[in-house]
Amino acid sequence: MPPTTLAKPIPKNGANGAAPEADAAEFNPFAGFAPFADMWEAGMRRWWNLTRHVMGIDRAPVGQTPRDAVWSNGKAVLYRYRSESPTVRPPLLLVMSLVSRSFILDLQPGNSFIERLVAEGFDVFLLDWGVPDEEEANNTLETYCDELLPQAVAKVNQMGGHNGVTVFGYCYGGLLSLLYAAGHPNDPVRNLVVMATPVDFTKMPAAMTGVGEGGIDPEHLMDHTGNVPAEAVRASFTLLTPTSDLSTVMDFWEHLDDDKFLSSYQAMTSWTRNHIPFPGATMIQTVEMFNEGNGFITGDLMLGGRRLDLADITVPFLNVIAERDHIVPPESTYGLDELVGSDDATEMRLPAGHVGLIVGNGARKRSIPSMIGWMLEHSDVES
């Protein structure tokens, strides 16, 4: 009789002594598909973000720091940013360029120069020039420097308790601020700050100075409104970095699945591609006084029939220079602290570009704290 063969009992915990759940995990038939699921999710996110961008869905909002219009004259509007308890005196007046949208100073929450200033206790005002049309075509440098700026400074001084005003001009807004301060030395300006402001126009890029004698007739740039159209303004900036649009698009495609990147990209490009017409009469004056005459350097500054002298600026003065600026090269703005008459004049050189002074990680960590530090040292701060 053949021997009886007994079946070997299977351990209660599974074939290898492990729990049945472990066997199930080891033999998961879908484990190899995880990378494909991640690729599918990233692809769908890229498709959706591209659709949002092209269709204009959920556009990144800009200029969100709460503010109120407190004065206006024509299209120029003075805004005051809301703050429950400003601790810094005097109030701060930001003066923007004539050809750029002012929201670059308040780009997005967490990436906003104005938001940071308010958080630091400043009483912040912004002078926005608006978008010119036929009515502003005859606006001159006198319109801005002898009329609108003095009125705005007086309003800020009055609302700030007559403690004076710190005037802060950006780019061409700095040029206007210099002319204003030199022409109105008795106005209540307590401190003057200019940032990325052209001084020596012989060192400016040809794309910015090629208008005038030996170049393009400024009249040929104007449209039916009598202004230089926004498209022409943008074209001049594009000529400074002709490959920037291509690199921007490549960056866009590379990071299309990144929601945070898309928001920042939309906010930034909405500024770089959305310029403002340049008032025709001011354009002609700028060409004559600076492109051709290099007035800050030669001292040949005429405004309203009188000669101006930067030496008449005697208030504490700060000239902020972006060392990687391709729009206003640093060499074009060196030495301004020696042209003004102030005994307290500082030149601050920062490792940033024209916009990188106020936007991005470098601005948050280095540029903005440095500028705020100087202004706090020249202000009254409540403890």
Question: What amino acid positions are annotated as catalytic residues?
Answer: 171
* Token couple for 104: 């670059």
The closest alpha carbon to 97, from 365, 328, 319, belongs to 328
- Cβ atoms of 311 and 339 within 8 Å: the answer is yes
The closest alpha carbon to 209, from 290, 115, 138, 325, belongs to 290
The closest alpha carbon to 338, from 210, 150, 199, belongs to 199
User: H helices of the chain, where?
Assistant: 20-26, 34-55, 113-119, 141-142, 149-159, 172-183, 206-209, 230-240, 244-254, 259-272, 280-286, 295-298, 336-339, 361-362, 368-377
Burial of 254 (0-12, 13-18, 19+ CB in 10 A): exposed
Which backbone phi and psi does 367 adopt, to 5 degrees? -65, -55
Beta pairing class for 67-73 and 88-89: unpaired
* Token couple for 376: 């706090």
Beta pairing class for 67-73 and 76-81: antiparallel
Which backbone phi and psi does 375 adopt, to 5 degrees? -65, -35
